[in-house]
Structure 1
Amino acid sequence: MSAESTPGHRGKGRRRATRDKRHRGLKAAAWTVAGIVVLGGTGAGYVYFKLNGNIESLDIDQALGTDRPERVDNGSENILVLGSDTRSGGNEKLGGGADDGSARSDTAMVVHVHEGHRKASVVSLPRDTVVDRPECTDTDGGTHPAASGVMLNSAYATGGAACAVKTVESITDLRVDHYLEVDFTGFQKLIDELGGVEVTTGEDIDDPDSHLELEAGTHRLDGEQALGLVRTRHGVGDGSDLGRIQLQQAFVKALVRQVEEVGVLTHPKKLYNLADTATKAVTTDSDLGSVNSLMSFAAGLENITPTNMHMITMPVRYDPADGNRVLPLEERSELVWDALKNDRPIPESATRDTAAGEAKGVIDAG
């Protein structure tokens, strides 16, 4: 990755009509699905079938069976969003490791869409959280035994999407209604298709592990640099995964701001390129496994704006036995999950004085 970045200027796309503004909410819900909401308007025929054929979907409900938290019939939805590190194919270089056939969930978020679909709560789950992983069945029918005291992202490494969902449901006692995943390569291409994202860093960032070097100031990051930013941990704060999560949450706001300014809906070729890239990048649960389903899903979130999204990190403390691991704060976490289960706002007391990572303010979120 280039160590240099060029000072950027915000795009000057025309302000879109009110209907288009409402689509910003889904883009804010998670950076991993930022391109999906622009699928509207691509038309039918060849374009539709081309995009439809790009989408990979998994029958997670079939794999997990009926031993799951009950669906809550209050109009809310829970979406598990993962950024994956497959260490294979196009991701080998981006992941910074050898192609050993392993796979990890590098980023995990529970996006809770509240009743009425006008606000959302986003809870980042630290990948280094020590958890008890339940027995699970993957989407190929393989069974994986339970394990105690393992990292959260080992669930994905062990049994893929289905085991990741099973583990998150076990931790939260929330029913995961939908699953969305994007890999390193897809994320990088999405940012490049958007023309980069402008961020302002309040201090220098230098992390050889994520191949990112930025001086303090304003930069327009291309896809490779943006990927480095959301993955860096040793170049900011206390070097923990919690600091990286703070950067990711700040980047979401910068990404939303960029999408507002690009005006992709006024450029048909850019719209198609972005939709093509987005549908190739994502893996979904089977209920979202078509262009029509994704468009309907996006339409249901169109009234959510960045101002009514609440983003937090699951309450944790550092593991005294290993400073590179964190442990859930059970009582605080229960406040979070109970609030979401009952479709209420997350109380401030849930995250007060919890481990944070000391990276807040490194990026100006605007």
Structure 2
Amino acid sequence: MPGPRRGRQARDGRTQEHRVAAARRTRRSPKQRRKKALLWTGGVLAFVIVAGSTGAYALYQKFNGNLDTIDVGDAGSKSVAGDGPLNILIIGTDKRTGAGNEGYGDKGSAGHADTNILFHVSEDRTNATAMSIPRDLMTEIPDCTTKQPDGSEKVIPGSQNVRFNISLGQEGRDPGCTMRTVKQVTGLSVDHFMMVDFNAVKTLSTAVGGVKVCLARPVKDPDSHLDLPAGESTIQGEDALAFVRTRHSFGNKSDLDRIKIQQQFIGSMIRQMKSDDTLTNPSKLFKLADAATKALTVDSGIGSINKLTSLAKELGKIDTKNISFVTMPVVDNPAEPEPITVVVDPAKSKQLFAMMRSDTSLTEVKKQEKAAKSKQEAVLEGDRAAPADVRVDVLNGGDIAGAAGATVTWLQNEQGVPKSTNKANAPAKIDRTTLAYAPNQADQARALADMMGLPATALKQGSTDAEGLQAMVLTLGADFDGAGVPITGPATAPDIPKASADKAECAK
């Protein structure tokens, strides 16, 4: 990109330098600084800013051509600007693409799901939870339908009691298989995926001019080639890759400790991307946009610059202080004499998954509880219909087979609701249970909410009154655990370590 001509006067009497200075002052406005995209869409934000200059169409074509996409079918297709929370799976593979990466990873690997982060964005876009999923988690991989190069479909059989990381690459599995595996484990539907390899860490860290990290003590690791002094360092390229790959230098030298290091690195890169040093430097922004779009492989639902720009705008609304990093709660695999793999911690994980499904922020749990209670009181304020007068159709949009029928049986036999009807499976799976009702059915909705233990967020009032014998519609979601079990989010956050993207910590 050619530099500006010095001293050239415009018709308004200002020099090019004056116009550039004015533009920089505009870019530094607090409102704009708050709306910056995160690590995996930083390049998209850069495109938005750079494309304001001449040659925008050429830049659009260039960046759009950089993207690789994979059609994962119905594994994820939600609109990024639609209502409701967003769940985006970030996959880092061990595929050895790119110059200088021949010595890394599993030789000949098609790329396994080596690093995995489920990024949950709240419905109001004020907060997010980034949950790391250990690659050595023993789990079940469900059957997976994949698209073949000739357009045909192939069903890859599922596997029992295997490592999570082989949900990608093994036997031809694509990222859609990893998305389905996440749903199998957590009960959370994954809307989109973004996948990067080793090269992305090197190119993105270099494009932003380096990422600041902190070490509690000096490290010299012959395996990853990480060689850094104690204290703060700025790393990029090979050093950045060595930092996120090392697992013999910190904590118990396990993959779980490496996850903490990767979370620290990502948090630091987010802070660097939204710093004035990056956002006011056109050359750096161009390099970042080019590197990010080249690094990304995404699902076809977000496989264009326009769609990624929409996603960047959604993610850019989140303040970094409200981004929490956590690791899926796990325990050592009891089936192994000397455990090298892990299994889901049944108590703590259930609590965390429930919080994410109910869209409760880990950073503002108390505030969310108070707001939810206030909303609950407002929605449920008023008369209750008698159980015999409650008319409801029940659909199953969750994962428990026969849930709609079981719920109708429970409502009729134990709650005295004879006008409840089993409508079998819903048109699509949903994460959270909903109750749709008309304004003149509010008393029925309140009564059913009391019986089911529905949170205020589950109640969806329509705009027109019901006519005749029209029934309310109760659609059970992934948060449904069984007839008679209250459908509410947990009152408190699980007792698990968490970190903030807004705060730097020294690796120990």
Out of 131, 134, 141, the residue aligned to residue 123 of structure 1 is 131
Match of 1:350 in 2: 494
Out of 61, 65, 68, the residue aligned to residue 73 of structure 2 is 61
Are 1:60 and 1:162, in contact at CA under 8 Å, matched by a contact in 2? yes
CA distance in 2, matches of 1:65, 1:345: 23
Match of 2:88 in 1: 79
- Describe the superposition over 1:143-181 as per-residue Cα deviations: whole angstroms up to 9, x where unpaired: 221111111111012202111111111111111111111
- Describe the superposition over 1:33-80 as per-residue Cα deviations: whole angstroms up to 9, x where unpaired: 443332212323111111111111112134x499xx9xxx96211111
Are 2:94 and 2:106, in contact at CA under 8 Å, matched by a contact in 1? no
CA distance in 1, matches of 2:302, 2:360: 26
Are 1:32 and 1:181, in contact at CA under 8 Å, matched by a contact in 2? no
CA distance in 2, matches of 1:303, 1:241: 32
Out of 191, 195, 213, the residue aligned to residue 209 of structure 2 is 195
Where 2:360 maps in the other structure, the secondary structure is coil
CA distance in 1, matches of 2:118, 2:325: 10
- Describe the superposition over 1:158-211 as per-residue Cα deviations: whole angstroms up to 9, x where unpaired: 202111111111111111111111111122101111111122211122322222
Match of 2:236 in 1: 222
CA distance in 2, matches of 1:305, 1:223: 27
Are 1:123 and 1:312, in contact at CA under 8 Å, matched by a contact in 2? yes
CA distance in 2, matches of 1:33, 1:228: 23
Are 2:85 and 2:359, in contact at CA under 8 Å, matched by a contact in 1? yes
Are 1:96 and 1:209, in contact at CA under 8 Å, matched by a contact in 2? no
- Describe the superposition over 1:97-118 as per-residue Cα deviations: whole angstroms up to 9, x where unpaired: 42x1431122101111102111
- Cα gap change, 1:76 to 1:132, in 2 (>3 Å): same
Match of 2:356 in 1: 340
- Cα gap change, 1:50 to 1:353, in 2 (>3 Å): closer
Out of 315, 320, 333, the residue aligned to residue 306 of structure 1 is 320
- Describe the superposition over 1:333-355 as per-residue Cα deviations: whole angstroms up to 9, x where unpaired: 1211111111113466534489x
Alignment of 1:54-203 (within 5 A): 54-62=66-74, 64=75, 75-90=84-99, 92-93=101-102, 95-98=104-107, 100-140=108-148, 141-158=153-170, 159-203=173-217
- Please, which moves more after superposition, 301-310 or 257-266? 257-266
Where 2:63 maps in the other structure, the secondary structure is helix
CA distance in 1, matches of 2:85, 2:227: 41
- Describe the superposition over 1:20-41 as per-residue Cα deviations: whole angstroms up to 9, x where unpaired: 31234x32xxx44443332212
Out of 198, 208, 221, the residue aligned to residue 222 of structure 2 is 208
Which amino acid in the other structure matches residue 325 of structure 2? M
CA distance in 1, matches of 2:76, 2:299: 14
Out of 256, 271, 278, the residue aligned to residue 257 of structure 1 is 271
Are 2:208 and 2:288, in contact at CA under 8 Å, matched by a contact in 1? yes
- Cα gap change, 1:287 to 1:339, in 2 (>3 Å): same
- Please, which moves more after superposition, 310-319 or 135-144? 135-144
Q: Which structure 1 segments of 5+ residues have no match?
A: 1-12, 355-359
Match of 1:326 in 2: 342
Which amino acid in the other structure matches residue 83 of structure 1? G
CA distance in 2, matches of 1:213, 1:334: 39
Are 1:33 and 1:182, in contact at CA under 8 Å, matched by a contact in 2? no
Structure whose alpha-carbon radius of gyration is higher = 2
- Please, which moves more after superposition, 223-232 or 318-327? 318-327
The total of aligned residue pairs comes to: 337
Deviation of 1:91 (Å): 7.1
CA distance in 2, matches of 1:292, 1:230: 31
- Cα gap change, 1:226 to 1:343, in 2 (>3 Å): same
Are 1:32 and 1:182, in contact at CA under 8 Å, matched by a contact in 2? no
- Cα gap change, 1:17 to 1:221, in 2 (>3 Å): same
Are 1:202 and 1:361, in contact at CA under 8 Å, matched by a contact in 2? no
CA distance in 2, matches of 1:266, 1:56: 28
- Please, which moves more after superposition, 339-348 or 241-250? 339-348
CA distance in 2, matches of 1:65, 1:83: 18
Are 2:96 and 2:197, in contact at CA under 8 Å, matched by a contact in 1? no
Where 1:81 maps in the other structure, the secondary structure is strand
Where 2:129 maps in the other structure, the secondary structure is strand
Q: So what's the TM-score if we normalise by structure 1? A: 0.84
Are 2:206 and 2:237, in contact at CA under 8 Å, matched by a contact in 1? yes
Deviation of 1:288 (Å): 0.9
- Describe the superposition over 1:243-302 as per-residue Cα deviations: whole angstroms up to 9, x where unpaired: 011111122222233224353332223222211111010011112111111111111122
Q: Equivalent pairs: percent with the same residue?
A: 35
Out of 225, 228, 240, the residue aligned to residue 254 of structure 2 is 240
Where 1:195 maps in the other structure, the secondary structure is coil
- Cα gap change, 1:92 to 1:137, in 2 (>3 Å): farther
CA distance in 2, matches of 1:182, 1:129: 20
Match of 2:48 in 1: 40
Q: So what's the TM-score if we normalise by structure 2? A: 0.61
Are 1:189 and 1:277, in contact at CA under 8 Å, matched by a contact in 2? yes
Are 2:247 and 2:258, in contact at CA under 8 Å, matched by a contact in 1? yes
Q: Which structure 2 segments of 5+ residues have no match?
A: 1-23, 363-489, 499-503
